[in-house]
A and B are shown apart, each in its own frame.
Chain A
């Protein structure tokens, strides 16, 4: 199985400051069709997960543009340009290139 490793696992951030989460996969996530199926999800406290970013860098509808995704191959990053209070929660990366699909351990973002 492809192992997804996120860092850091805990991320205290001051309001208005940037934040960055790394996600590394144990194998390349480039699929035979040329796409890279790496998604990012946000789970606010007490809520269901919500997809933010798909195929590395594409925003889902309604996602603020302060969120951005980048990366290639086995190395990916989610960035928040200026953290707001509503961004508190746990962030997960997930690969959909290889079966079984696998998630990272999650990164808990909190306000300092």
Chain B
């Protein structure tokens, strides 16, 4: 069974940093592109970032470029999102999602809440 378990969320002040993790199991992590998607409270879904199997290609939404970085460790079956210079508008539940070959977002984790507030 595919499992994606996010962790690392919490309360942080504006300008602060957090590192989110996603532990993957039940599938061959190293052969799948992986993504982060977020959802602000009461709002819709927003794609944040995607990374290729070997980490050689990374894509980030414009609003987080230069502040957030997606990365992965295939030896640990783990996906990460390093978030720096956090803003109030980054407050959201962050979901980790798996991308099947040739497509996107077929399995999602339960999400981890990031709250940016003073």
Contact = CB atoms under 8 A, between A and B. Distances in A.
Interface in A83-106: 90, 92, 94, 96, 99-106
Interface in B61-105: 61-62, 95, 102-105
A35 interface: yes
Given A92-B44, A100-B47, A103-B44, A48 B109 contact: yes
Nearest to A54: B103
Chain A interface bracket (under 10, 10 to 19, 20 to 34, 35 or more) = 20 to 34
Interface in A31-66: 35, 37, 39, 41, 43, 48-51, 54-55, 60
B104 A106 contact: no
B46 A49 contact: no
Contacts of A50: 108
Contacts of B46: 103
Q: By DSSP majority rule, is chain A's interface helix, strand, loop, or mixed? A: loop
Interface string B30-69: 0000000100000011110010000000011110000000
B103 A55 contact: yes
Contacts of B1: none
Contacts, number: 57
Given A48-B110, A100-B59, A100-B61, A39 B104 contact: yes
A49 B47 contact: no
B105 A51 contact: yes
Contact of A41 (B50, B60, B105): B105
Interface string A13-37: 0000000000000000000000101
A62 to B, nearest CB: 11
A41, A49, A101, A104: residue with the most chain B Cβ atoms closer than 10 Å: A101
A49 B98 CA distance: 12
B96 to A, nearest CB: 10
Instruction: List the 9 shortest-distance A-B pairs measured between CB atoms, nearest first.
Output: A101-B47, A96-B104, A48-B108, A106-B44, A103-B45, A100-B61, A99-B59, A54-B103, A51-B106
